[in-house]
């Protein structure tokens, strides 16, 4: 029997890629999104890639009745919860917006899971929970650090909500995936990242600069204690990241979890500095990027990358694409958007 996976925030960057991989792995997928941070570009792209229309429900996960109705209308075997705000800086200025949306939406999902007598719940968490790590690479046992933004706080709180609910409510099982830096786009160039306004994240800023929508990329700080002075991150290809979700959902629905609540790092284990990433983008796409060194961005950690061993061994998943392939895909997507 086919299993049904509900993807909240399924029209967004990560949600759309996960939807494609789930559907291609044989799952029935229900997409739900309030479209507050995206248009229907990715939903249309998903349908085009799959060659069929997937069920789409426009709804807000902060609306408890709507969430309950959704669970009543579909037999949900697993839910992947993406629907959340994610701009770190904005969360500092508008904490209540973040607490209300990110916490309430997840509480409603957990309540619906409890009411139906259990469900497999996958929460999209973040490496932000590790803060500035004392030891690198970080494993799932590395301590969480106090969050430096309300956004980070909501990720930690939602992990705890899930863990507590798994302990309290029979049949509720949970996995938190801690993403490092998801970048890139689907190889079809039909779905990808669609930042609203000026991008906060590095790769969309790079591609928008290359296409001419932004004048110049600012590299935030070149005086960090790293080889080239710029910060290091673990950039993970979006399709690789999406496949980790398929592995995690399958582990849950097939009853192969070792604990009822599990955490996995989803990263490559490969640190890349900002300058290295910029150079790789220029090289693989054969272009020159206009960039300058700018002051440090407040709140940035110097370096963080994953030890992905646990996910490799337990999920049977491994990041496969090179950073060059991923940056070529990101550029193809930007050109697709520009109609070039
Ligand atoms: N950077 C620049 N110029 C830019 C944008 C970013 O130099 O215009 C640098 C940043 O200073 C940082 C690196 O590029 O050193 C990566 O920055 P991103 O904003 O792309 O990503 P972050 O590592 O800051 O944050 C990401 C997600 C968060 C998540 C965090 C977890 O955006 O949601 O990873 O570690 F919480």
Which DSSP helix (H) or strand (E) runs through 183?
A: strand 181-183
Task: Say yes or no to pLDDT of 280 above 90.
Answer: yes
pLDDT digits (tens, 9 = 90+) for 76-133: 999 999 999 999 999 999 999 999 999 999 999 999 999 999 999 999 999 999 999 9
Residue with tokens 């290359």, as numbered in its chain:
210
Closest CA to 326 of 269, 280, 290, 291: 280
- Cβ contacts of 94 within 8 Å, gap of 6 or more: none
Q: Can you read off the two tokens belonging to residue 56?
A: 């789409």
Query: Which is higher by pLDDT, 299 or 279?
Result: 279
What pLDDT is stored for residue 1 in this prediction?
85
The finding on whether 300 has its CB within 6 A of some atom of ligand 1 is yes
Cα 300 to averaged position of ligand 1 atoms, centre (Å) = 7
Digit-coded pLDDT (tens) for 183-196? 999 999 999 999 98
Counting other chains too, the contacts that 334-340 makes at CB distance below 8 Å and 24 or more residues apart are 334/192, 334/207, 334/208, 334/210, 334/211, 335/189, 335/211, 336/189, 336/190, 336/192, 337/192, 337/194, 338/211, 340/211
**252: pLDDT strictly greater than 90:** yes
The structure's pTM equals 0.98
Q: How far is the CA of 273 from the centre of ligand 1 (A)?
A: 11
Active site residues: 151
Cβ of 205 below 6 Å from ligand 1: yes
Residue 100 near ligand 1, beta carbon < 6 Å: no
How far is CA 46 from its chain centroid?
17
CB within 8 A of 22, min separation 6: which ones?
5, 7, 29, 245, 246, 249
Nearest CA to ligand 1 atom 27: 181
Reference 176, options 97, 252, 114; nearest CA is 252
What letter would DSSP give residue 312?
Answer: I
Cα separation, 298 vs 151, whole angstroms: 15
pLDDT tens-place string over residues 58-82? 999 999 999 999 999 999 999 999 9
Q: pLDDT at residue 158 above 80?
A: yes
Instruction: Say how far apart CA 340 and CA 334 lie, in whole Å.
Output: 9
Q: Alpha helices, DSSP H only, in the chain?
A: 13-24, 41-50, 64-73, 88-93, 95-98, 104-115, 150-168, 202-211, 238-253, 274-285, 309-310, 323-337
- Name the residue with the closest Cα to ligand 1, atom 4: 202
Which ligand 1 atom is nearest residue 304's CA?
Answer: 35
User: Which tokens belong to 88?
Assistant: 């770190």
Q: Is 202 in the pocket of ligand 1 (CB under 6 A)?
A: yes
State which of 87, 274, 306 you would mutate to test the pocket of ligand 1, scoring each by most atoms of that ligand within 8 A of its C-beta: 274
């Amino acid at each position: 029997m086919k299993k049904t996976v509900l993807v909240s925030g399924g029209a967004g960057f990560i949600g759309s890629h996960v939807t494609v991989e789930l559907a291609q792995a044989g799952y029935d997928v229900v997409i739900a999104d309030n479209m507050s941070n995206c248009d229907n570009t990715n939903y249309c792209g998903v349908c085009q890639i799959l060659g069929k229309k997937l069920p789409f429900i426009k709804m807000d996960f902060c609306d408890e009745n709507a969430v309950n109705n959704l669970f009543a209308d579909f037999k949900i075997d697993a839910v992947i919860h993406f629907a959340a705000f994610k701009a770190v800086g904005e969360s500092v200025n508008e904490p209540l917006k973040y607490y209300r949306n990110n916490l309430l939406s997840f509480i409603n999902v957990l309540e619906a899971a409890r009411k139906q007598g259990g469900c497999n719940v996958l929460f999209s968490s973040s490496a932000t929970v590790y803060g500035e790590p004392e030891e690198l690479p970080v494993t799932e046992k590395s301590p969480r650090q106090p969050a430096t933004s309300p956004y980070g706080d909501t990720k930690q709180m939602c992990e705890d909500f899930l863990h507590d609910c798994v302990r309290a409510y029979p049949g509720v099982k949970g996995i938190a995936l801690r993403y490092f830096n998801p970048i890139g786009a689907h190889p079809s160039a039909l779905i990808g990242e669609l930042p609203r306004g000026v991008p906060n994240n590095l790769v969309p800023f790079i591609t928008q600069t290359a296409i001419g929508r932004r004048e110049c990329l600012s590299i935030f700080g070149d005086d960090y204690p790293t080889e080239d002075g710029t910060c290091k991150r673990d950039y993970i290809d979006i399709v690789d990241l999406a496949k980790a979700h398929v592995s995690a959902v399958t582990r849950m629905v097939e009853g192969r979890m070792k604990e009822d609540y599990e955490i996995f790092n989803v990263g490559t284990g490969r640190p890349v500095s900002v300058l290295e990433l910029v150079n790789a983008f220029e090289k693989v796409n054969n272009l020159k990027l206009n960039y300058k060194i700018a002051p440090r961005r407040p709140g940035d950690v110097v370096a963080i990358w994953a030890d992905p061993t646990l996910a490799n061994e337990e999920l049977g998943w491994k990041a496969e694409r090179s950073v060059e392939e991923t940056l070529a895909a990101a550029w193809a997507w930007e050109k697709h958007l520009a109609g070039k």
